[in-house]
Amino acid sequence: MAISYMSQEGYDKLRAELEHMKTKGREEMSQAIAEARDKGDLSENAEYDAAKDAQGYLEMRINEMEKVMANARILDKSQLDGSKVTVMSTVKIKNKRNNKEVTYTLVSEAEANLKEKKISVTSPIGSGLLGKAVGEIAQVSTPAGTIDFEIMDISINLD
């Protein structure tokens, strides 16, 4: 599995979510299975099957998160170079097609959250922006065709 670079905040959030799933999540799954089992014949018990499926999904998710955390590397933002787009960069870009400007922060896949304007470095836009400097054009392939984005500003938020 590839190394996942992330902020301390993102790592702590992931660790807390994993701990919650391993404790409360597993406890809730056990209760749901026990309740469904008490309802009788397991061969025709859809509730029991659903609870077992949910338990399998929870365990798969725990396993995936443990792998991400095992391969996580926490970045010190003060050591990052703000002259080119890297992971943890906040980038203001202009869509050359419609002249709309938008600002994104590039983060690891585990930290990506479009509502917070955090996009993954592995996303089409994120990977297209990596390594670019202010004034350069990033060409990003999308289902609607190639879009050119001009890099307007790059910053590293040190909060």
Kindly report the number of other CB atoms within 10 A of residue 50's CB atom.
Answer: 13
pLDDT at residue 137 in the model? 94
How does pLDDT run across 99-158, given as a tens digit for each residue? 999 999 998 888 888 899 999 988 999 999 999 999 999 999 888 889 999 999 998 865
> Count of CB atoms within 10 A of residue 10's CB?
22
β-bridge pairing 145-156 and 137-142: antiparallel
Please provide residue 51's backbone torsions phi and psi, each rounded to the nearest 5 degrees: -65, -40
pLDDT tens per residue across span 70-101: 888 887 766 666 778 888 889 999 999 899 99
The amino acid present at 27, given as its one-letter code, is E
Contacts of 106 (CB under 8 A, 6+ apart): 85, 86, 87, 88, 89, 91, 118, 119, 120, 121, 126, 129, 130
Backbone angles phi, psi at 104, to 5 degrees: -130, 155
pLDDT of residue 46: 84
CA distance 105 to 102: 10
Domains of the chain: residue spans and CATH: 4-74 (1.10.287.180), 77-156 (3.10.50.30)
